[in-house]
Structure 1
Amino acid sequence: MTSPIRSIFDALDPGDALGEVLFGLIMALTWTVGSRLVMHEEGIEVRDLVVATLGCNAAWAIIDAVLFVLGTSFYKSRRLRLFRHIKAARNEATALAVLAEEFPIEDTPFSGKTADAEALYRSLLALTARAEPRKALLTRNDILAATGIGILVFATAIPAVIPFFLIADAELALRVSNLVLIALLFITGYAWASFSGGRPLYAGLTMTGLGLVLVLIAVALGG
């Protein structure tokens, strides 16, 4: 029997999951780096920093989950609209043109022949002709995926606050927290390459560098 946690993350695409982890890490790192600047100028209470870091990621976890639901609803409604356009097409050529516009293969990472593309669109048209429209409703998997997104974004803040419970020196704990988050950026990039077939070491270093640049931009802009 599948556990509830397993069901949640099975419903979430690995690319989406890693993207949310990256987002959560950048949010937490932005907060802790910004707090370090404040600590030097005004001083800061460790409890306030822990609560603020968890609260920031919790808020964005909810926001990101809601945005995922809205995006999924939009996508399904758009697909339903496309289906109806194809059904209402005056002739086969018009319907094929609609499909070609919606599903272009020029930008795909493989080269396809014109005849193969036309065969693909004709197959989709034949499938559409036999199908009936359904309401664009959210499914259980959509809700599970949104829940998984919320959990991932919030969970990335937990490693950021653990050092404050283990290290008495607040500034040292903050340094360790930042190092942990930077290490997790590298691990996220490494995992991303493992799923996508890229070079793990290169992807890890790239993700770390990109994450740090985004954090610096956010801090500089007051984020």
Structure 2
Amino acid sequence: MESSKLHITDVIDPGDALGEILFGLIMALTFTVGSRLIFSEEGLDVRELIVGTIGCNVAWGIIDAVLFVLGTLFYKSRRVRLFRRIKAAKSEREAMSVLRKEFPIDSESFVSAAADEEALYQAMLGLARHGSPAKFRLSRDDLLAAFIVFLLVSATSLPAVIPFIMIGSADLALRASNFLLIALLFLTGCAWARFSDAKPLNAGITMTCLGLVLVGIAIALGG
């Protein structure tokens, strides 16, 4: 199980993966919480809720996967452009300026000595000048990461609809569905803390509150 997790985090950044899960949970909660508001007035159409929730998350899973591929292409294209700019620089000072602008160390969350920064940029400059641009194409891992994005957003609809399949009472199933999704928001926050400098409890509570606020905004705006 652990090797599977390590493989996934090698393919896609943990922050991106957790962000996709958060997005999927918010989409599903928008459907289920919104349905609760309609339920008391018109009655809940369980089949319509299930189809709508799954369909919406699958559709957005496809959209997010395509956007991920486009973002990857943009990133790689930008890196090729950076490489060519360094190659075309008329002086070392100009090339160093390009590198410093693209990789600003002063924005990182650590303090380093000026001599160490200079040595790092010199090493990067040497690699760029002696190397050659790689072939610009999508790799297998890029496509796998896009597929993972699709699965993460799509799969978050399952906790929302499973209670309606297992519980006969639509009202009770809706409560269970909302509870599961809110609990997953909390667990997503705890997982976020694992990859960052945060306390799991605080991150879980923050993620839950943030998710519910975003759901409220989506419902209020007709989303």
TM beyond 0.5: yes
Q: Deviations over 1:61-88 (max 9, x none)?
A: 0000000000000000001001000000
Contact kept? 1:24, 1:153, Cα under 8 Å: yes
1:33–1:153 CA distance, 2 compared to 1 (3 A): same
Matches within 5 A, 1:67-78: 67-78=67-78
| Partners of 1:186 and 1:12 in 2: CA distance | 22
Q: Which moved more, 1:124-133 or 1:191-200?
A: 191-200
Alignment of 1:8-47 (within 5 A): 10-47=10-47
Q: Give deviations 1:18-60, integer Å, cap 9, x for gaps.
A: 1111111011001111111122222231011001100010000
Instruction: Output aligned runs, 1:147-186, within 5 Å.
Output: 147-186=147-186
**Unaligned 5+ runs, structure 2:** none
State TM-score, norm by structure 2. Answer: 0.94
> Which residue identity does 2:194 align to in structure 1?
S
Deviation at residue 120 of structure 1 after TM alignment: 1.1
- Separation in 2, partners of 1:112, 1:152: 38
Q: Distance in 1 between matches of 2:25 and 2:202?
A: 19
Give the Cα separation in 2 of the matches to 1:125 and 1:154: 43
- Corresponding pairs, count: 221
Of stretches 9-18 and 104-113 in structure 1, the one that deviates more from structure 2 is 9-18
Contact 1:61/1:154 (8 A) holds in 2: yes
Q: In 1, Cα distance between the equivalents of 2:67 and 2:5?
A: 21
Q: What amino acid is aligned across from residue 143 of structure 2 in structure 1?
A: I
Q: What is aligned with 2:217?
A: 217
Could you tell me which runs of 5 or more consecutive residues in structure 1 were left unpaired when the two chains were aligned.
none
Alpha-carbon distance in structure 1 between the residues aligned to 2:19 and 2:52: 22
- In the TM superposition, 1:1-223 aligns within 5 A as 10-223=10-223
Tell me if the contact between 1:191 and 1:200 (Cα under 8 Å) persists in the aligned partners.
Answer: yes
RMSD over equivalenced CA pairs, Å:
1.7
CA-CA distance at 1:6 after TM superposition:
8.4
Contact 1:30 1:218 in 2 (8 A): yes
8 A contact 1:185–1:208 mirrored in 2: yes
Change in CA separation of 1:99 and 1:4 when aligned onto 2, cut-off 3 Å: same
CA distance in 1, matches of 2:97, 2:27: 43
Q: Residues 25 and 120 from structure 1, CA distance in 2 versus in 1: closer, same or farther, beyond 3 angstroms?
A: same
Q: What one-letter code is carried by the residue in structure 2 that aligns with 1:212?
A: L
Q: Shift of residue 10 of structure 1?
A: 4.5
Identical aligned residues as a percent = 63
Deviates more, 1:7-16 or 1:149-158: 7-16
Look up the SS of the partner of 2:12 in the other structure. coil
Structure 1: 4+ residue segments shifted above 3 A: 3-10
TM-score, normalization by structure 1: 0.94
Equivalent pair of 1:64/1:149 in contact (CA under 8 Å): yes
Letter in 2 for 1:147: F
1:130-185 C-alpha deviation (Å, 9 max, x unpaired): 10112321100000000001001111110110110121111221111011100000
Q: Which moved more, 1:11-20 or 1:147-156?
A: 11-20
